[in-house]
């Protein structure tokens, strides 16, 4: 068996992989930001119009879908605990009990 030093092609491949990895991380962060923005928007609508008995079920469903998507995106980023986020966004229990329901 003979040993050979790494070729220049290997270094170029590693650099390309690092660039791709960086781009993937940037996209994960951007997607997490967009999901968080959607949570803020749907919760604001719910707080503004939550007393309207006709709109409340639709607003709860929209908020639950946004929160569920946000939690999934957080988990894809390696963030598994959501307690702090629930407190930060002040997510109502009525929304939390609907997570994942269609």
- Torsions phi, psi for 81 (to 5 deg): -95, 130
In the prediction, which pLDDT does 89 show? 96
Contact call for residues 32 and 73 (beta carbons, < 8 A): yes
Candidate from 14-18, 38-42, 68-72, 90-94 with smallest mean pLDDT: 14-18
| pLDDT bucket at 11, cuts 50 / 70 / 90 | low
Nearest to 60, CA basis, from 97, 9, 16, 19: 97
Token pair of 45, please?
């609508």
Q: What share of the chain is helix, strand, coil (3-state, %, to 5)?
A: 75, 0, 25
18 — phi, psi (to 5°)?
Answer: -60, -40
Q: pLDDT tens digits for 28-82?
A: 999 999 999 999 999 999 999 878 889 999 999 999 999 999 999 999 989 999 9
């Amino acid at each position: 068996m003979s040993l050979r030093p790494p070729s220049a092609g290997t270094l170029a491949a590693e650099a390309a992989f690092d660039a791709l990895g960086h781009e993937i991380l940037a996209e994960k962060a951007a997607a997490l930001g967009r999901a968080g923005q959607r949570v803020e928007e749907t919760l604001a609508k719910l707080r503004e119009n939550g007393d309207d008995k006709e709109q409340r079920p639709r607003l709860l469903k929209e908020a639950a879908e946004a929160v569920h998507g946000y939690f999934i995106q957080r988990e894809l980023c390696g963030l598994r605990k959501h307690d702090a986020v629930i407190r930060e966004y002040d997510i109502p229990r009525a929304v939390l009990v609907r997570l994942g329901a269609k």
